[in-house]
Structure formats: C-alpha cells, structure tokens
Amino acid sequence: MAADRRPYDRSVPLSPLLASYDQLILDLDGCVYVGDEPTERAPEAIAALRDAGKRIAFVTNNSRLRGEDYVQRLWKMGIQASLGEVVTVGGAVQHLLNETCQGQAAFVIGTAAMIEHVEAAGLRVHNGTDLASRAELVVVSGTEDFVFDDLRVAVQALRRGAQFFATGRDPTYPMPDGLWPGTGALLSAVEYASDRVATIVGKPAPQLFQTALDRMGPSARTLVVGDKLDSDIAAARAVGLDAALVLSGGTTAAEVAAAVDPRPDHVATTLAALVLGPA
C-alpha cells in the first residue's frame, strides 16, 4: 500500500502512555516500516513525538545499508531523521573491530555497506582472493546474495581458528509479501558447518541501545519500541529499559501472550497505535 502523504493532523495528542516518556528508541524493520513503506500512520506518530519534544533514536540490526542510506529512506517515507539519530549494527561492528582487530585479514558475508565498515575499521578484506579461507576474522551479516562459496570459505577460515562475529540472530525480517530469511538463517548454516558460535554485536546484545542512549543524553524515562521478542525486547531488558512490542513485524499476539522472558511492558498493533492511540 502506498504511503499516505497528506498533511498530518498536528492536533492529535500523544497517548497517555507516551506522554510519560522523555525519549524513544525505535526499531526500524517491522516497527517504523516494512520494506519501502512506513507502517500505518508511522510518519504521523513520529511527527507527533517530535512536536511533543521527545528525543528519538532509530536503531537497526539490518546491516544491508549505510547510515546515510537509512536517513534517505526515512525522508522518502515522510519521516524526518538525521544521521546522528540512526544507530546501525554496521557502525557498531566497525567500532568494535577498530578497537580490537585493526590490521587483521577478514572475510565478510554481507553487502558492500558491511564490507566498507570492516575496511573503515582498519582491516584488510580478502573476499574474492585466494587468501579468503585463511582470514583471521569472519563477519556474518545480512545479504540477499549468499552463495555456497561464501559458506565454504567462512567455514574453512573458522575451522582454521579465525575470530567469529555476526550482526544478529534474527531468523527473519518482514517484507510486504511476508517474512524473508534474516541474518540468523545464514549464521545458523555457518555455525553448524564450522562447529563454532559467533559473538553477536547487534541486538539482543546491549551495544546498540547503549550507543543510542549516549547520543540522546541522560533522561528519566526511555521507551524501546520493537517488533521482536528475542532481539528488541531482550536488548531493552539487557540495558534496563521499558519496552513495547508492536505486532506489525511478524510477532503474533499469541506469541506475546505465551512469552515468559523477555516480556514487553506494553503491546500495540502498530507504532502509531502505541503513540497516538487507535485510529
């Protein structure tokens, strides 16, 4: 469904729940948008948050794009965003590798954006060379171009003792025609064949949310809004934040009702329903 570009009704107040929070950490895929379209009334909800003076950070485990690409994508949907408000797992990987692995040889499963992050961290990326299977470090991230040779090279490097990092374990991510295989699906194949377990840099590890909090500054109350129990809600719990789950990304109401740990503090059909109340 095409995004609604009509002017937003600035008179719509925030829901009582949202009025009690100072700032929000918003997941992107499945919460703010699905594919290239915003979730229902998401631009209106985010505009209302800004009008109310709420600070916002957009956080994503999706490493397929650069931070600048996410800013452009949001603006095309009618959602204002600055580069400083976008926290990507690609940036988190770059920071970690820069601090711990400069100068090493790497093999990367991922898009051009992730390869750029690894190179910017000071590593030599050996993709496409005879040295790839002897890399000192393997990074697994999201891509639609995963092929058998990627699996073979990663497994050979890992069985030779390479360090092992991944951007997340999300098995799927939402698209307009249904759920698509996520980074976790690719990672499972690499882990199974290599008999190794990756260090996860993205959610549910706390680094992305900690970075978001550092950028927004101290606040009495922060709410995380996401669409996955085992990544968004778990990461919120890891940093001691309140969490709301929206049902626009594939998690069902039955799955939420059956969840024990982690459980969200709040549940809504969409981001807009959470922020503005029912349409």
Domains of the chain by range and CATH?
16-61+204-276 (3.40.50.1000), 95-200 (3.40.50.1000)
Per-residue tokens: 24: 């929000």
Q: How far apart are CA 46 and CA 52, in angstroms?
A: 10
Q: Is the pTM of this model over 0.85?
A: yes
- The string over 15-54, giving b where at least 16 C-beta atoms fall within 10 Å of a residue's C-beta and e elsewhere, is bebbeebebbbbbbbbbbbbeeebbbbbbbbbbbbeeeeb
Name the E strands within 97-155: 105-109, 124-125, 137-140
From first to last of its 279 residues, the chain has per-residue pLDDT tens of 334 444 555 556 899 999 899 999 999 999 999 999 999 999 999 999 999 999 999 999 999 999 999 999 999 999 999 999 999 999 999 999 999 999 999 999 999 999 999 999 999 999 999 999 999 999 999 999 999 999 999 999 999 999 999 999 999 999 999 999 999 999 999 999 999 999 999 999 999 999 999 999 877 799 999 999 999 999 999 999 999 999 999 899 999 999 989 999 999 999 999 999 887
The label of the residue with tokens 């590593």 reads: 123
Q: How far apart are CA 237 and CA 226, in angstroms?
A: 12
Q: How far apart are CA 1 and CA 268, in angstroms?
A: 21
Q: Is the distance from CB of 198 to CB of 191 less than 8 angstroms? A: yes
Nearest C-alpha neighbor of 24 from the set 242, 235, 211, 197: 242
